[in-house]
Structure 1
Amino acid sequence: MERIPWPVWRISLVIVFGAFVGMLDSSLVNVGLDRIGANLGATLDEVQWVSTAYLIALAVSLPLCGWLSRKVGVGRLWLGAFAAFTVASGLCALAGNVEWLVVLRVVQGLAAGLLTPAGQTVLGQAVGPQRLGRVMSILGIAVSSAPAIGPTVGGVLLDSLSWQWLFLINLPIGAIGVALGLRYVPRGEPGTPGRLDWTGFALIGLGLPLFVYALSAVGEGGGGIKPAVLVSLVLGAAGLVAFALRSWRRERPLLDLTLFRNRVFTAGTVSSLFIGAAMFGAMLLFPLYFQILRGAGVVATGLSLLSLGLGTMVVMPLAGWLTDRHGGGIVALAGGVGTVLVTVPFAFLGADADPVLLQVLLFLRGMALALSASPAGTAAFASVRREQLPDATTTLNILMRVGGAVGGATIAVVLSRLLPTGAEHAFQVAFWWLTGASVAALAAAWWLWRVQWHERIQPAVVPA
């Protein structure tokens, strides 16, 4: 394998700051919604928009990443998004009422929607396809560790400080990240992306957030679908379908969906979609398992989940090395098998499960997740040309967001319908559903491996 020079590692470490702070912020703020509402005199429905507005805004800006990357240069876009996110974090801490806080969270979400795909594009263009796995594994450590430590950090902050520190904690991380980015991140060359496809942006810019919001609302609403939520779901799905049809036919679309003619890219993104469903479903299910079934507090729950993040962090560098050496498909397949095998035992565990056994299973699941999540996406990115990376990273992140919304909503609906009949039974059924999502991710990883294997042997086949 080609050696990765230190300047490339340095760029990847700087990009990690953006990925880490974006993922950390969401889990931190969700922990403190009750405290924020009490201090700002807001009802539960009102303060819930502090979280919902962030997710919707993130979904709105995500489709613009590819076009903006070509317009201003992907490094400049990453720096601008990180700076805007950091400034918005500080302003959130100064908000005097919930209305202003929601507005500022929209600004945060718009910036966060650009951070991850822009960072992935910077890394992909800096390192090249043959070394992408090892570099992307560093980014994967940040993405996986931030949600794991977020509840613990949030609980500790709220125990001793005001809710404003849930946002102020982003300031030193953001300041360091932007300063290092100005010094080390390549700016990228501005291109000529053509006029923005405003019709296409309207379709996906409304369709994606409506679809994600509707799925979230279904989960929060106890499984009953209100008419407004159903309308949002239908309009969101229609907008996404219309966007896809328009983009496929258009010469210079907002997103180049002809990337799906590339079989490796298609298999990698589909695999990432199902991995997103399993991963985000687990992010919802495991904290509730400890809080509801085992009666743990916020801090205790966060500490209990540290082993999950630790398992991912330990194995992620190995996953990157294996991806560069053997291809992302076979690594994701191994991770998918491990994820299924480690998820099944949770469907049999009750409230009195041995704590040591739980920690071992969580650690093993973190290891399996490291072997499945990053390699699939890396395989997709490595299969496209350098100039296609902005559209590739944006498309994959959109599908992971949709998959995550579906996975989270499914788990939430299952729990809300079954909890009245008994918490232990409800969680066992929910873990079977999570196992089903993991099996779907495993099947997609098998497809990715088969496609990569076929493409490797195809050049050696000489027609008769």
Structure 2
Amino acid sequence: MTDQSTEQSAQGSPNTPGQGGVDTGQGLDAAVLKIAAVIVIGAIMSILDVTVVSVALPTFAFEFQTSYANVAWTMTGYTLALATVIPLTGWAADRFGTKRLYILALILFVAGSMLCSVAWDITSLIVFRVLQGFGGGMLMPLGMTILTRAAGPERIGRVMAVLGVPMLLGPIAGPILGGWLIDAASWHWIFLINVPIGAVALVAAWVILPKDAPEPSQSFDFVGMLLLSPGLALFLFGVSSIPETGTVMSARVLVSAVVGLVLVAAFVRHALRIEHPLIDLRLFANRHLSVAVIAMSLFAIAFFGAGLIFPSYFLQVRGETTLMAGLLLAPQGLGAMVSMPIAGQLADKIGPGKIVITGMVFVTLGMAVFTQVGASTSYVVLLGALFVMGLGLGATMMPIMTAALQTLDDASVARGSSLMNIIQQSAGSIGTAVISVVLTNQLLDRAAAGPAIAAQRDPAIAEQIGPNAVQAGLAQAADAFGGTFLVATIIVAFTFVPALLLPRKKFERADQGDAVARGAMLH
């Protein structure tokens, strides 16, 4: 991604607010609202798809008769694909035009959804999820670019408010929708639902979005992409293979992980030697950004990894339906919805450091409750803990991003935003792999847990092993989940170290608001 292209994407054309509409200064005009409607449809599909699939993982494990570590790759592969295409999007938008690329992204996403719905084994599902992720990864940054160009830089705040709707609704509606579709129909429909929505988005994009105006752009760092993306994928594959091989010393684990790390190291060397790398590692010279990256990485590994197994506890240990599991996760999204706007305002007034530390306290307290989870723990306690964690989430993620970007100059904000976005996606993928490995090992160490979990889905198994064995096995399974949540809680606790180093006072700079807003548009 080039500095020139990202600045153009971020700022748009200041002389054309609304693409023909009139900015009255009171809000977004009709022309911009039509474009916003198209973009929001695409954003909803992309964001919902991540949370919808989270409640389906136990179903995938049962349907395809495979391990939890394997089905976790349906999430990991998707997020890795997102991280791969995000830096490519800015360059490609300038080279081919935003409207054409947005339509291509919709086609890839819908095609990937259709293929996912007909997957015949876990391997094919993972491959099709990667294809879906390539399309989904472009929808949000492209949508932000199109909408901000249409609205003009003076209405960025109102644009971000519109795009914030699917971001806030995703964690609430996704698990509920996924659970309802699986219970009412089958797991295939969590992907098929994207087809009619995507068809409407395609027609609307073709008719409503402004015409393309491609401009010359500097070359894209294909070498960097070929080094970093396979490197991360191989490393995560090696880590995820530990439960199946039973040892870290197996060739499958060691070869994959070592080759992956070598490729990542080669990327670091490559990125420091060229002018426009895939990820600008020279930004780490900025102390505040480096601290924020460490905080973001640790938090994403713990939180997104743990987020993978919250629905699994309700499904496997408590025997809830997928719809009920989705409803039980809603308090977390509600908590984030309450705290996110408040945290954003306070971070601007008193600095992000204090807000992040407060958010971390809430997250740690909420997750600590789940370390003590049992087979019959009160739902009042668990839902309260999820709400508290949601409050913490809303006060953590965006303030960390603000801390990273607010000290960068205008020329570096777009590159810094891309760096943070890729690291967040990669750390989330690592967390998914690590936590799934920990949970799988915890369950394998408790012989009665597996049959008891199977008995929750199959009455014949429950009758065969008897009610006492089922209860004992579920207690062991709950203990396995508690041990896994303990690992995530410890990782979250380590996040306090870099969080204490984040800026704890208001940062004064004349162009701060514009710079951070432009960076956020690429997030």
Distance 1:96 1:415 in 2: 26
Deviations 1:331-379 (A, max 9, x none): 2232112212222232234333221121111111111111111222244
Post-superposition offset of 1:305 = 0.9
C-alpha distance in 1 between matches for 2:150 and 2:404 = 16
Q: Does 1:407 align with 2:461?
A: no
Residue 254 of structure 1 corresponds to 278
Helix, strand or coil at the partner of 1:299 = helix
Distance, in Å, in 2 between the alignment partners of 1:213 and 1:281 is 15
Partner residue, 2:498: 444
Residues of 2 paired with 1:133 and 1:275: CA distance? 27
* Residue number in structure 2 paired with 1:418: 442
Task: Indicate whether 1:227 and 2:281 are aligned.
Answer: no
Q: In structure 2, do the counterparts of structure 1 residues 311 and 123 end up closer, same or farther at CA, with 3 Å as the change threshold?
A: farther
In 1, Cα distance between equivalents of 2:277 and 2:131: 25
Partner of 1:362: 386
Residue matched to 2:340 = 316
Deviation at 1:248, TM superposition (A): 1.6
Which structure 2 residue ranges, 5 or more long, are not aligned?
1-24, 447-475, 510-523
Q: 1:129 to 1:376 in 2, by over 3 A?
A: farther
The alignment partner of 1:254 has SS state of coil
Give 1:399 deviation, angstroms.
1.0
Structure 2 letter corresponding to 1:426:
A
> Where in structure 2 are the equivalents of 1:321-400 lying within 5 Å?
321-384=345-408, 388=412, 390-400=414-424
Residue 276 of structure 1: CA displacement?
A: 1.2
Which has the higher mean CA deviation after the structures are superposed, 295-304 or 12-21?
Answer: 12-21
* Among candidates 89, 103, 118, match of residue 65 of structure 1: 89
Give the deviation of 1:283 after TM superposition: 1.0
User: Closer, same or farther in 2 for the Cα pair 1:196/1:442, shift >3 Å?
Assistant: same
Question: Per-residue displacement from partner, 1:76-97 (whole Å, max 9, x unpaired)?
Answer: 6445323431344345546789
Seen in structure 2, the aligned counterparts of structure 1 residues 291 and 96 have a Cα distance that, compared at 3 Å, is closer
Q: State how far apart, in whole Å, the 2-side matches of 1:78 and 1:449 are.
A: 37
Pick aligned residue for 1:6 from 14, 28, 45: 28
Tell me the CA shift for residue 307 of structure 1: 1.3
Is the contact made by 2:180 and 2:322 (CA closer than 8 Å) also made in structure 1? Answer: no
- Tell me the TM-score normalized by structure 1: 0.79
2 CA distance for matches of 1:357 and 1:38?
29
CA distance 1:270–1:56, shift in 2 (3 Å): closer
Deviations 1:123-154 (A, max 9, x none): 78889999978865765663464355434322
Q: Which residue of the partner structure matches residue 461 of structure 1? A: none
Letter in 2 for 1:211: F
Q: Which residue of 2 aligns with 1:428?
A: 482
| Partner residue of 2:296 out of 272, 289, 293 | 272
The one-letter code matched in structure 2 to 1:275 is F
CA contact (8 A) 1:346 1:428 kept: yes
Tell me the equivalent position of 1:300: 324
CA contact (8 A) 2:55 2:326 kept: no
Rounded Cα–Cα distance in structure 1 between residues aligned with 2:494 and 2:155: 28
Q: Tell whether the 8 Å contact from 1:265 to 1:379 is kept in structure 2 after alignment.
A: yes
CA contact (8 A) 1:140 1:316 kept: no
Alignment: residue pair count:
453
Of 193-202 and 332-341, deviating more is 193-202
> Cα–Cα, structure 1 residues 372 and 22, in superposed 2: closer, same or farther, change >3 Å?
same
Q: Is the 8 A contact 2:110 2:198 kept in 1?
A: yes
Q: CA deviation at 1:385?
A: 5.1
Aligned partners of 1:262 and 1:127: how far apart in 2? 32
75-84 vs 396-405, which moves further:
75-84
Conservation of the 8 A alpha-carbon contact between 1:211 and 1:237: yes
1:116 Cα deviation from its structure 2 partner = 3.9
* Matching residue of 1:462: none
Letter in 1 for 2:284: F
Higher mean alpha-carbon deviation, 4-13 vs 396-405, is at 4-13
Contact 2:80/2:425, CA 8 A, preserved across alignment: no
CA-CA distance at 1:382 after TM superposition: 4.7
Which residue in the other structure is 1:197 paired with? 221
Counterparts in 2 of 1:35-114, with a 5 A limit? 44=66, 48=71, 54-55=78-79, 57-72=81-96, 77-90=101-114, 92-93=116-117, 104-114=128-138
CA distance in 2, matches of 1:12, 1:215: 41
Q: Which residue of 2 aligns with 1:214?
A: 238
Alpha carbons of structure 1 residues 358 and 32: separation in structure 2 relative to 1, 3 Å: closer
SS at match of 1:448: coil
For 1:187 and 1:442, the matched residues in 2 are separated by 47
The aligned counterpart of 2:183 is 159
Q: How does 1:123-202 map to 2 (within 5 A)?
A: 142-143=166-167, 145-177=169-201, 190-202=214-226
Counterparts of 1:367 and 1:93, CA distance in 2: 35
Structure number with higher helix proportion:
1
CA offset at residue 280 of structure 1? 0.9
Identity of matched residues, %? 36
AA at the equivalent of 2:368: V
Larger mean Cα displacement after TM superposition, 302-311 or 408-417: 408-417
Contact 2:58 2:312 in 1 (8 A): no
Q: C-alpha displacement at 1:312, in angstroms?
A: 1.4
Q: Which moved more, 1:365-374 or 1:418-427?
A: 418-427
In 2, are the aligned partners of 1:57 and 1:209 still within 8 Å (CA)?
A: no
- Whether the aligned pair in 1 keeps the contact of 2:297 and 2:423 (CA below 8 Å) is yes
1:240 aligns with 2:264: yes
RMSD: 4.1
- Residues 134 and 323, structure 1, Cα contact 8 Å, conserved in 2: no
Cα offsets for 1:54-96 (capped at 9, x unmatched)? 4554454344234334434567644532343134434554678
Preserved CA contact (<8 Å) 1:63 1:204 = no
